[in-house]
Amino acid sequence: MRIIELDNVESTNSYAKASADMLDDKTVIVAKSQSAGRGRLTRSWVDLGEGNLFMSIILKPSEVFEEKYSNLTQYLSVVLCKVLEVYGVNPQIKWPNDVLIDGKKIAGILSESIIHSGGKLEAIILGIGVNLIAKQLDVDNIPNKIATALNLEIGESIDLKEFTVKLLDEFFAHYDEFLVKGFELIREDYINKSNFLNKEISVQVFNRVENGLAKEIDTNGGLVLLTKDDKKTVLTIGDIL
Ligand code: BT5
């Protein structure tokens, strides 16, 4: 594993994407600040100042994309929960990969793949932003979400380097096994951390909303919804509202 440390970038994911063909498997890009951090779809990721984590991991597991790589975001959410627990908080996962503390979003994960026209997988860019140090006022100004930062939860400042090392160690400790077993490796941990199961929920899937009982997480990490007419729908993409 090699870590490339940058000062300011638009987005560590964009930087990693642009340079992935020249960088090895397991190269990590971290930046002190991001001027145009990205979320999923067209959303953005707010930079709450120096001391927060903005990181992208370049992964080149094989030359062909395998279905289980789609679960890397869920794998990373479980890894992050384990690290946050070391700091004494009780994180929960909101499907598919939001990590929350007391219902407040503390991190965001964004996975992007570079696949050539012939089908060859160049790399998967697994990006993560974690709010480690912030002022309550700045967190309150994040649009459309109730958010938090680790220092606000535990009343202490957090060492970014130390946190980053813990996260990367935990990520790579089981990464090779994850590549073999896929979601099955983390399914139990993921379910234990979930805050939405057995509840009536609404899920935004592109421009439609699905309502139903969140019945289970299937073996592929999909969300099984039981709709009013007792029909089962398995969702693989979406946002719980
Ligand atoms: C995400 O998107 O949560 C994925 C965010 C990934 C950010 C990392 S930082 C390093 C790497 N480089 C990048 O450019 N991106 C990755 P999504 O589920 O679409 O959620 C985005 C929504 O979260 C926004 O629309 C806001 O409502 C909220 N949000 C934005 N910034 C936030 C923050 N700092 N803390 C908590 N919530 C935030």
The tens place of each residue's pLDDT in the chain, 241 residues long, gives 999 999 999 999 999 999 999 999 999 999 999 999 999 989 999 999 999 999 999 999 999 999 999 999 999 999 999 999 999 999 999 999 999 999 999 999 999 999 999 999 999 999 999 999 999 999 999 999 999 999 999 999 999 999 999 999 999 999 999 999 999 999 999 999 999 999 999 999 999 999 999 999 999 999 999 998 889 999 999 999 9
Q: Does domain 2-193 have CATH number 3.40.50.1110?
A: no
CATH, domain range 200-240: 2.30.30
- List the domain boundaries for the chain: 2-193, 200-240
Which of the listed residues 33, 45, 46, 77 should we mutate to test ligand 1's pocket, taking the one with most ligand atoms within 8 A of CB?
45
**Please, where are the H alpha helices in 46-197?**
72-86, 136-140, 150-154, 160-181, 187-193
Residue 110 Cβ < 6 Å to ligand 1: yes
Matching residue, tokens 């340079």: 19
Tokens of 169: 């160690």
Tell me the sheet residues that pair with 234. 224
**Could you give the 3-state DSSP secondary structure of residue 4?**
strand
pLDDT value at position 46?
98
Do residues 196 and 214 lie in contact, with contact meaning Cβ atoms separated by under 8 Å?
A: yes
pLDDT value at position 56?
98
Cα–ligand 1 centroid distance for 168 (angstroms): 19
pLDDT value at position 111?
98
Residue 190 Cβ < 6 Å to ligand 1: no
pTM of this prediction? 0.97
Residue 48 Cβ < 6 Å to ligand 1: yes
Residue 105 Cβ < 6 Å to ligand 1: yes
Residue 144 Cβ < 6 Å to ligand 1: yes
Cα–ligand 1 centroid distance for 231 (angstroms): 33
Residue 99 Cβ < 6 Å to ligand 1: no
pLDDT value at position 228?
85
Cα–ligand 1 centroid distance for 126 (angstroms): 13
pLDDT value at position 230?
85
